[in-house]
Amino acid sequence: MPHAKPRLLMADDHTLVLEGIRKLLESEFDLVGVAQDGHALLKEAQRLRPDAILLDISMPRLNGIEACRQLVKEMPRARVVFLTMHADVVYVEEALRAGGAGYLLKSSAAAELSIAVHSVLRGERYVTPLIDARGSRQRRTGQRPFAGLTARQREVLQLAAEGCANKEIATRLHVSTKTIDYHKSAIKRALKLNSTAELTQFAIKHHIIGVPTLKGEVP
């Protein structure tokens, strides 16, 4: 009797990327589902219980690093692999610190994707060799941009930067609007920012969210 294929859940907010990954991996893995934002990923992971999860860093509602922190806490046996455009070693370190087992770039060779997923399923850690070639040239300050924030504050930061009003954030996170006000004030103090506009600029700079597009524009 043949062995069952490993179950893989994929998350990326670009449909074309997901379709491309599907074609690359469908012969070796059971592709059990897809998600296009961080909160949807958490729900699908709980429902589908995959062996491995492939996700991007920049995703709406909850970025990949924050999603990874929650995934490894709730599903410690699932192996998380990042597939992203961000080669800066600060993000590699943050992703691995969050519990990621693998880190690939979207510019990596197609064959490397399968190698990485199989490696993490064997209990190994996999980081693409491209990080040594590209990431090591990035300027490193030794300072983590979100070190002073709690997990909940990072969630509030992302939702606020995406344009959600306090009431909407409170509803999504199941807390009061006063709690959101408190978190936003604490975030501004910790990051030395003065306004929601500056929060948005910070989120774009550090790849928490993408650059906003006008309605009708293709992202």
Give me the CATH number covering residue 163: 1.10.10.10
Give the model's pLDDT for residue 68: 94
Give the model's pLDDT for residue 79: 95
Give the model's pLDDT for residue 55: 94
Instruction: Indicate if 131 and 162 belong to the same structural domain.
Output: no
Query: Average pLDDT by consecutive 10-residue portion of the chain (219 residues)?
Result: 82 88 91 93 95 92 90 92 88 89 89 92 91 50 63 82 83 85 84 79 71 39
Q: And the tokens for 163?
A: 């344009």
Instruction: Indicate if 180 and 97 belong to the same structural domain.
Output: no
Side-chain half-sphere exposure of 1, counting CA atoms within 13 A: 1
Q: Which domain holds residue 165?
A: 151-205
CATH of the domain at 61: 3.40.50.2300
Task: Identify the sign of the CA torsion 129, 131, 136, 140.
Answer: negative
Give the model's pLDDT for residue 195: 78
Q: And the tokens for 74?
A: 């709730």
Give the model's pLDDT for residue 135: 45
Give the model's pLDDT for residue 210: 58
Residue 107, in any domain of the structure: yes
Residue with tokens 């807390």: 175
Instruction: Indicate if 58 and 127 belong to the same structural domain.
Output: yes
Give the model's pLDDT for residue 156: 84
Residue 219, in any domain of the structure: no
Residue 105 DSSP SS3 = strand
pTM: predicted TM-score of the whole model, two decimal places: 0.68
Instruction: Indicate if 65 and 163 belong to the same structural domain.
Output: no
- How many structural domains does the chain have? 2
